[in-house]
Amino acid sequence: MSIVVTGATGHLGRHVVEQLLEKVPADQITAVVRNAEKAADLAARGVKIALADYNTPASLDGLFAAGDKVLLVSGNEFDKGRVQQHQGVIAAAKAAGVALLAYTSAPGSLTAALADDHRGTEEALLASGVPYVLLRNGWYHENYTENLAPVLEHNAVVAAAGEGRVSSASRADYAAAAVAVLTGEGHENKTYELGGDEAWSFAEYAAELSRQTGKEIAYSPVSVEALTGILTGAGLPEPLAATLAGVDASIEKGELVVSTGDLSRLAGRPTTPLSEAIAAALKG
């Protein structure tokens, strides 16, 4: 029996594998990757490496074994038909008779277009009959803290979220919840709504950035259309820019406030404050 993590060299997947290594022997972990070189450090630590690609269903054959617990990390190729990609993994998992398939989804409250692929995948997973866990991950601190250069250059936080609030948490926090599910018992057919302990507004985010940098950084609210234009101007394809700006519209409606406490309960600790994520990013 193995714990299998797909997308294991991605931002979230790597956190999951690192935290699994603290809890289970390395030879019980299988990291599914597209590029073995990117996983060389994991292989050196005794993690089993499997090569597969969501876009090549045949590569998924034989990936799983009966009794495996699997984490399906959602794909990030928005233009490749993510539901179809995920269905290939679900079909392979069903054929193998896995014990559990956990999927990193989006909050149930999120109506933005970004959530459509997640809802489609959830439907396919539930229809498959495979024992499942829906890890409905909220927004990541890193969605903001990894993109501080333009904020610091212009001394402005630009968003189309009005006075909306976000219950974000760090990738490591969400990884801890996934690890708890993969290594624990009694999670079959459960849905967890995951978000940070403290919700924040973009004005508060700008104020915290100001405090930590000593600069005067203001929040500059714009329309969804204006933000789409800014993102396409920065080089994003128009459909992706519109999708991301649509998330801001959902934030304004309160759809990314997750107050269940599921994340800190599963992780067994409070979630990482945004201020800590900002401090780490500024140091880096």
Tokens of 32: 């599914």
Tens-place pLDDT, residues 81-105: 788 899 999 999 999 999 999 999 9
How far, in Å, CA of 81 to CA of 120, rounded? 11
- Given a cut of 90, is residue 224 above it in pLDDT? yes
Residue bearing the bigger pLDDT, 34 or 77: 34
Q: Is the pLDDT of residue 76 over 80?
A: no
Report the DSSP pairing between strands 132-137 and 190-194: parallel
Can you tell me the distance from the alpha carbon of 176 to that of 20, in angstroms, rounded to the nearest whole number?
Answer: 9
Question: What six digits make up the tokens of 60?
Answer: 């998924």
φ and ψ at 61, to 5 degrees?
-65, 130
Can you give the pLDDT at residue 81? 79
pLDDT digits (tens, 9 = 90+) for 158-216: 999 999 999 999 999 999 999 999 999 999 999 999 999 999 999 999 999 999 999 99
Q: For residue 55, what pLDDT band results from cuts at 50, 70 and 90?
A: confident
3-state secondary structure of 193: strand
pLDDT recorded at residue 264: 98
**Which DSSP category does 30 fall into?**
E
State how far the Cα of 13 lies from the Cα of 42, in Å rounded to an integer: 12
Looking at residue 1, what is its pLDDT? 78
3-state class (DSSP) for residue 253: coil
Looking at the DSSP bridge assignments, the partners of residue 51 are 33
Q: What is the pLDDT of residue 148?
A: 95
Average predicted confidence (pLDDT) for the chain = 95
pTM beyond 0.85, yes or no: yes
Q: Give backbone dihedrals phi and psi of 97, rounded to 5 degrees, phi first.
A: 75, 45
Mean pLDDT of 226-234: 95
